[in-house]
Structure 1
């Protein structure tokens, strides 16, 4: 594959998509393949205070869930917890009491760590109701434990644990609290020790919780809903937490994905479990341990797009295509691109095959 021949169509596609949408102020795309020698790192948009640059850190929304599931998997390998453990082993009775009451029956003690990881706990999603509160009142602030307690009081579970997938940040809030219990440190400290430092993600940090090892020479990219810039809302730290929160330049995110794919963080066997213990989340996606896996469907989703990775509500994506040995990472930094980014990613993969 010719390096220069491939850069042009990918760059043209990316820039044209961004320029068509006036709501997107700063979008980013990194495409890398060791197999072909291709490496493209792009930024586009009107910008905020100057044109965006590829080196800017991006808030990656639920892309952070893959970091959380990787940490839990590392703790599993160390024997500090097991995927099959009941979560009551790590969470206090105050939090567990009445956590999951479905159709009059309490299933709280039936929830296993694996149910949180693959979104099959049946617990309700606390993110969007709390996000609405934050949008209505920018001073709104809540901690992750309080966010779970709020869901317990105000929302209704969706299913019996282990029966079906229901995507919820509540699951990943609980995983963050379990990590803190096992490690005896705040989640952002564990994230830095187990992933950022070993992988070399020097400019990565957790939104409103930590600072990078080295300050980025470029300002963090803004992320938006409508015309509202969300970066500076402190309440995001509590409602995102271990369900997101990772901020990093795309080159740092590539380091993480290469380390995960290359079994530098977890073994080949554990990564296989992270992918194989999955549930159908959407018609074209299965969900493993923080991992979205494309389900190929004849005519609708051809096998040439078969890949796995993770998506975020801001139009963020971080995927690996095994056949092409290629990584596609980026963000449109706008909630309007939450679903559209998937189609864009497929088009990039199509360009890689040309």
Structure 2
């Protein structure tokens, strides 16, 4: 039986590496990372492919930009503070934010909703606030994504991002009356965490999550460094542009600026779903789902994907975790006890990353 397991795993690894090679062969993909861990299936695979622009190969020692996977860390941090009695999910955000942030934050059809926004609304993207990353501003001015590309030395502060959102966008609906994925909400959550904890967000992440879990290669981009970051960050691309070193990436903060590795992110997932970081009650609250789109629902910094609803050819399985705009994935499949983490490090690869996730999971369950 042992030999059969070894042969089966060798076959699975070969099939998964074939999938990764197919992604790497695409013109706009320069590096691919994928990690799979399952204690019950005896799987512990970490595959890294591709190279840096100078020709040197990427490796497991190179952490990667996780983008919106960071929302799960921000939501988990809120959960930690809830468990400690420092705040409550139903608290109005005006309790923690200064007037210069709250004034003009949410005015819709002449009604000021600033005092109606709850922490839960921000966590679940139901506040109605606009997304400052939206490329179409109400006044025709240049959006932040284009500013990131053209003013790469600009270092964005959180309050500056909120002011940008208020100046160039308008709310979409009253709090609790709809769903709209927006980074604006998570910047506000980061500011609240700093106000309540009296610590910079990156320090709180390090003290309460990274250090206790020995996530030594994980840190918040441009604001801290890993305790034991062995290699430079894998290069991140927007189309044909390599943007990893842009200071303007500071526009991505509490909504998704964490740098990490597959091993570290699996360690985080095990701790989160094992209630090492938050209580069972809080974890259950984080998994109260609202409709996002076909095949996807959203909780508090967590997304659930039902693959068969996305495409009948996909496996009839669900995963819980988060995705990022650069083709990053961090998910757990409870039915199969499989943790999956990966990235294509390309901003145009979000859809391809979901397809890859489904196909990799399918290979894991077929052997």
Tell me the TM-score normalized by structure 1. Answer: 0.95
Residue aligning to 2:43: 38
Distance 1:299 1:342 in 2: 10
5+ residue gaps in structure 1? none
Number of residues of Structure 1 aligned to a counterpart in Structure 2: 350
SS class of match (2:33) = strand
Residues 1:182 and 2:227 are matched in the alignment: no
Q: Work out whether 1:331 is the aligned partner of 2:343.
A: yes
Work out which of the residue numbers 290, 314, 321 in structure 1 matches 2:333.
Answer: 321
Shift, 1:152, TM fit: 0.9
Distance verdict in 2 for CA 1:139–1:346, change over 3 Å? same
| Partner of residue 150, structure 2 | 136
Pair 1:211 & 2:225 matched: yes
Q: 1:90 to 1:299 in 2, by over 3 A?
A: closer
Q: Does 1:235 align with 2:248?
A: yes
Higher mean C-alpha deviation, range 293-302 or range 87-96: 293-302
Q: Distance in 2 between matches of 1:298 and 1:150?
A: 37
Partner of 2:247, secondary structure, is coil
1:101 and 2:115 correspond = no
What SS does the aligned partner of 1:151 have?
Answer: helix
Q: Is residue 139–residue 234 contact of structure 1 (8 Å, CA) maintained in 2?
A: yes
**Residue 303 of structure 1: CA displacement?**
6.5
Match of residue 16 from structure 1: 22
Q: Are the counterparts in 1 of residues 218 and 261 from structure 2 also a CA contact under 8 Å?
A: yes
| Residue pair 2:123, 2:301 contacting (<8 A) in 1 also | yes
**Which residue in the other structure is 1:155 paired with?**
169
Could you list the per-position Cα deviations for residues 114-164 of structure 1 after superposition, in whole angstroms to 9, with x for gaps in the alignment? 000000010000124312112122233321111101111210111110111
1:293 to 296, 304, 307: 304
Equivalent position to 2:130, from 102, 124, 132: 124
Q: Find the aligned partners of 1:343 and 1:268 in 2 and give their Cα distance.
A: 31
Q: Distance in 1 between matches of 2:226 and 2:43?
A: 28
Three-state SS of the structure 1 residue aligned to 2:88 is coil
Contact 2:306–2:316 (Cα < 8 Å) also in 1 = no
Moved more, 159-168 or 295-304: 295-304
Matched residues in 1 for 2:245 and 2:210: separation?
Answer: 23
Which segments of structure 1 move beyond 6 Å, counting only runs of 4 or more? none
Separation in 2, partners of 1:220, 1:299: 32
Evaluate the alpha carbon distance shift between residue 171 and residue 32 of structure 1 in structure 2; reply closer, same or farther with a 3 A threshold: same
Checking the alignment, whether the CA contact within 8 Å between 1:102 and 1:157 is kept in structure 2 is yes
Equivalent position of 1:307 in the other structure: 319
In structure 2, the partner of 1:279 is: 290
1:69 aligns with 2:75: yes
Q: Which moved more, 1:309-318 or 1:224-233?
A: 224-233
2:26 equivalent to 1:58: no
Other structure's SS at 1:307 match: strand
Judged with a 3 Å threshold, the aligned counterparts in structure 2 of structure 1 residues 299 and 110 are, in CA distance, closer, same or farther, namely: closer
TM-score (norm 2): 0.92
Per-residue CA deviation, residues 18-55 of structure 1 (Å, 9 max, x unaligned), is 22x12111110001111110111011124333111123
- Deviation at 1:10? 1.2
Gaps of 5+ in 2: 135-142
> Who is 1:340 aligned against?
352
2:69–2:322 Cα contact (<8 Å) kept: yes
Distance 2:234 2:310 in 1: 37
What's the counterpart of residue 180 of structure 2?
166
Paired position in structure 1 for 2:140: none
CA RMSD of aligned residues (A): 1.5
Q: 1:296 to 1:212 in 2, by over 3 A?
A: closer
- What's the offset of the Cα at 1:186? 0.7
